[in-house]
């Protein structure tokens, strides 16, 4: 007999002990180092997404 898989998010799996509000912990930051021409294209695309209201916030500056 197989048991069903139980998934708990890390916030659910950890005890807060009553100290402050629980904050979401499932975040992912994926970084790449493209060549300069590709970095410019990515920066322009990110700026257009922000300008069109598709995403909120502001992109990181291109180096």
Q: Which helix (H) or strand (E) holds 39?
A: helix 36-51
pLDDT digits (tens, 9 = 90+) for 3-52: 566 666 666 666 666 666 666 677 778 888 899 999 899 999 999 999 99
pTM: 0.48
Rounded-to-integer distance, Cα 3 and Cα 6, Å: 9
State the Cα torsion 48-31-12-2 to the nearest 10°: 110
* Cβ atoms of residues 59 and 44 within 8 Å: no
């Amino acid at each position: 007999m197989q048991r069903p898989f139980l998934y708990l998010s890390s916030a659910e799996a950890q005890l807060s002990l009553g100290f402050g509000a629980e904050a979401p912990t499932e975040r992912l930051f994926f970084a790449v180092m493209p060549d300069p021409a590709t970095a410019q294209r990515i920066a322009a695309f990110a700026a257009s997404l922000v300008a069109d209201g598709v995403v909120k916030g502001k992109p990181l500056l291109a180096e």
